[in-house]
Amino acid sequence: MTYLEMLSYLYNERPSGKVTLGLERIRELLRRLESPERGMKLVHIAGTNGKGSTTKMIHTIQSEHGLRTAGFFSPHLSTFRERIIVNGNFVGNEVLLEAFRIVNSEALKMDAQGENTKPSFFEFVTAMAFVVFHQMKTQAGAIEVGLGGRFDATNTISPVVSTITTIDYDHMKILGNTLEKIAFEKCGIVKPKTPVVCGESKSEALQIVRKTAQSNESPLFCYGSEFFLDNVKLELGNNEFDFFGLKEFRSLRLSLNGVHQIVNASTALQAFLVFAEEIGLEVDENAIRRALKNVVMPGRFEVICETPLVVIDGAHNKEGAVALEKCINT
């Protein structure tokens, strides 16, 4: 099987639309694969907007600290290979094909048991990612939730830190039509006695986050109280801010554009600092500065031409559109 044949199979043969929500299929698939998701020190990231950028920033900071670092993202923008990276780089087609063969051998056995046991596209790809990371002996990583949190296929990991970026209206047919219901689904990634970092969110949603953290006896770090930023200066590709959280950093430079990305950066930074504290990793300020200055996330107010100014952005809901408007008007 070639790489393109693999993609054709995944897109056409694996169910994606109407899939019964639940973790039973992915848990069974990972069990059959001998639990490749175990053994890594992971940060798990959910949220309505900003979770991809936050995941990439955490991943990049981890990599700059010398860790062999996994990164899992969805959806992809231009190539499937964006979904599964190690130390900021795509993995080879042969690596993906080998992971596909390993996962498919077990998925086909599950298929034979009936339609309800057939792993979905996202469950299959999540399992592939964990197989790749296991085979490449990654030590740490940042794992982005696909949709929601509670029933997402990534919610089979035992993270060092759970992170929720923003909570707003999106995917309401699946997650619910109130902020409280959406927050409940996002908070499904919170694990007992595992630190939680929460980005900027409305009070109704934040209330649910606080209750969930409290009931799980999980330390909670919220943007605006336990960590915050100041002295924001915006310049395309070279934004600047001061960070105050578990540590203080002045005049940090960020390549990603917009105030919302600076908020995402502060969430990523606090999550990393909690992560480092939990695993006993010495924090390197220069590594943090390099990571934020050089991080790349395509399709997020990405400048593709400076004269005239042309950008591409993946805003797809109200909160994202508001952030995009602010970027344009700044």
pLDDT in tens, 12-28: 999 886 678 899 999 99
Nearest Cα residue to 260 out of 239, 245, 279, 246: 239
CA distance 60 to 67: 10
Determine phi and psi for 7, rounding to 5 degrees.
Answer: -60, -45
Percentage of residues in the chain having pLDDT higher than 90 = 83
Q: What is the pLDDT of residues 299-324, one digit of tens each?
A: 888 888 888 888 888 787 777 788 88
Pairing type for strands 69-72 and 140-144 reads: parallel
Q: How far apart are CA 314 and CA 79, in angstroms?
A: 15
Structure tokens, 226: 């336990």
Domains of the chain: which residue ranges?
3-299
Express each pLDDT in 237-254 by its tens digit.
999 999 999 999 999 999
pLDDT tens-digit map of 265-285: 999 999 999 999 999 999 999
53-57, 103-107, 236-240, 242-246: least confidently modelled range: 236-240
Write the single-letter amino acid at 310.
V
Residues 156-171: tens digit of each pLDDT? 999 999 999 999 887 7
Distance CA 263, CA 94 (A): 38
Proportion of the chain above pLDDT 70, given as a percent: 99
pLDDT at 17 (0 to 100): 67
Domain 3-299 fold:
UDP-N-acetylmuramoyl-L-alanine:D-glutamate ligase (3.40.1190)
Q: Which one-letter DSSP state was computed for residue 87?
A: T
CB of 294 within 8 A of CB of 60?
yes
Q: How many helices (H) and strands (E) does the chain have?
A: 11, 13
Q: Residue 228: is its pLDDT beyond 90?
A: yes
How deeply is 77 buried, as exposed, middle or buried, from its count of CB atoms within 10 A (0-12, 13-18, 19+)? Answer: middle
* Residue 77 pLDDT exceeds 70: yes
Q: Beta strands 302-306 and 248-254: pairing type? A: unpaired
Question: Residue 116: which of 217, 210, 236, 22 has the closest Cα?
Answer: 22
What does the DSSP 8-state code read for residue 264? H
Both structure tokens of 79? 């190539």
Mean pLDDT, the chain, rounded, equals: 95
